[in-house]
Structure 1
Amino acid sequence: MPNLGTTEIIIIAIVVLVLFGAKKLPEASRSLGRSLRIFKAETKGLREDDATPTPAPSPQPVATPRAELETSEVDALRKRVAELERDAATPASSTNGAGPVEAQQQH
């Protein structure tokens, strides 16, 4: 595209005046100015949004309470196993001399 000289710019301005008329040019300029102001405000808002870093979510100690819960469950299960082993090792006394299983079935 060739460079526009002074003569070409004047010719373009005259054509614009003839096409749009003197009354419509100020209105067009105002609406163009409003549009540019709105555009500028929106781009400024986008820049500010990019400039403010979003805070990283703080890590929540989720694993610690669960680990403590699992540890307490494991301890409870170990105690229960120890009780069951103790009960299995000691013969249950019954009135008829039957073993622990037979005594439970009779009741």
Structure 2
Amino acid sequence: MNLGPLEIGLIILAVLLLFGYKKLPDASRSLGRSLRIFKGEMKGMKDDDSRVASAPPVPLEAADRDRRAQLEAEAAAAEARAAELRARATQPGVVDPR
């Protein structure tokens, strides 16, 4: 697909009619900023991927294992409480204590 001088002129004319000559510099400036931000984010994502791929797995320390066990116990208690509340809600004639 080759664009000749006539097609390029028509595109420029359409852009000028749509945006006006006063708003065109602001529009092009904001487009440039957006492209610069997008390019920086894409580079950051590639850097993150390469950093994660090259990082060795970190072994869990005793404090991390203790914290994980504590969180698992809290999750189990919350699940038990939710099951109790669901069972209570299905009983006929029980009023919500709230």
Identity score, percent: 58
Q: Matched residue pairs, number?
A: 59
* SS of 1:32 mapped into structure 2: helix
Q: CA deviation at 1:59?
A: 8.0
TM-score (norm 1): 0.48
Provide the C-alpha distance between the structure 1 equivalents of 2:32 and 2:21, rounded to a whole number of angstroms. 17
1:58 to partner: Cα distance: 3.6
Equivalent position amino acid for 1:9 in 2: I
The question of 1:48 aligning with 2:39 is answered no
The residue that corresponds to 2:88 in the other structure is none
The alignment status of 1:10 with 2:42, answered yes or no, reads no
> Structure 1 regions of 5+ residues with no counterpart?
61-107
Letter in 2 for 1:20: F
Q: Secondary structure at the match of 1:12?
A: helix
Q: How far apart in 2 are the matches of 1:59 and 1:38?
A: 37
| Counterpart position of 2:28 | 29
Normalised by the length of structure 2, the TM-score is: 0.52
- 1:17 alignment partner AA: L
1:78 counterpart residue number: none
Change (3 A) 1:58 1:17: same
Q: Which runs of 4+ in 1 moved over 3 A?
A: none
Higher alpha-carbon Rg? 1
**Residue number in structure 2 paired with 1:105:** none
Which structure 2 residue ranges, 5 or more long, are not aligned?
Answer: 62-98
- Letter of the aligned partner of 2:46 in structure 1? R
